[in-house]
Amino acid sequence: MANDQNSNIPQEFSTMDIYLTAFLSRKGLDCRLETSDRGKVMFVFNKEEAFAHMDEYNSKDTLVPVAEYVREVKFYRGLMNQHRARTRDPINY
């Protein structure tokens, strides 16, 4: 019975890789930000959805629109910095 309960819990994939995060975002995946026990900002995705795009991300043949990809990287870097600031100083943020 415990296995049935666990099968309803979505599997998650966490990464600190901002470039992977930008790529997955360009593929339409949503993520949330969390802070690890060591104080690092993690991007958390649905594991099944993220893994469906991993081969494409790691392929040397994958082409991405550079300007849009750079914009995504900058966007997620900003989110990461905001999240870090909120975590460190939640009262004054």
pLDDT at 1 over 50: no
Residue 63 lies in a domain: yes
Mean pLDDT, residues 53-82 taken together: 95
> Residue 24: what are its φ and ψ, rounded to 5°?
-65, -35
Q: Is the pLDDT of residue 5 over 70?
A: no
The predicted structure's pLDDT at residue 10: 64
Q: Is residue 4 part of a domain?
A: no
Q: Assess if residue 31 is contained within a domain.
A: yes
**Residue 93 falls within a domain, yes or no?**
no
Work out how many domains the chain is built from and give that number: 1
Domain membership of residue 22 (yes or no) is: yes
- pLDDT, one tens digit per residue, over 25-67 is 999 999 999 998 888 999 999 999 999 999 999 999 999 999 9
Task: Take residue 54 and report the two structure tokens written for it.
Answer: 């991993």
50: nearest Cα among 73, 86, 25, 70: 25
Taking residues 61-79, report their average pLDDT. 95
Domain that holds residue 13: 9-88
CA dihedral 69, 28, 19, 58 (to 10 degrees): -100
pLDDT over threshold 80, residue 7: no
* 2 found inside a domain: no
The full 3-state SS of the chain, as one line of letters, equals CHHHHHHCCCCEEEECCHHHHHHHHHCCCCCEEEECCCCCEEEEEEHHHHHCCHHHHHCCCCCCCHHHHHHHHHHHHHHHHHHHHHHHCCCCC
**Would 3 be classed as within a structural domain?**
no
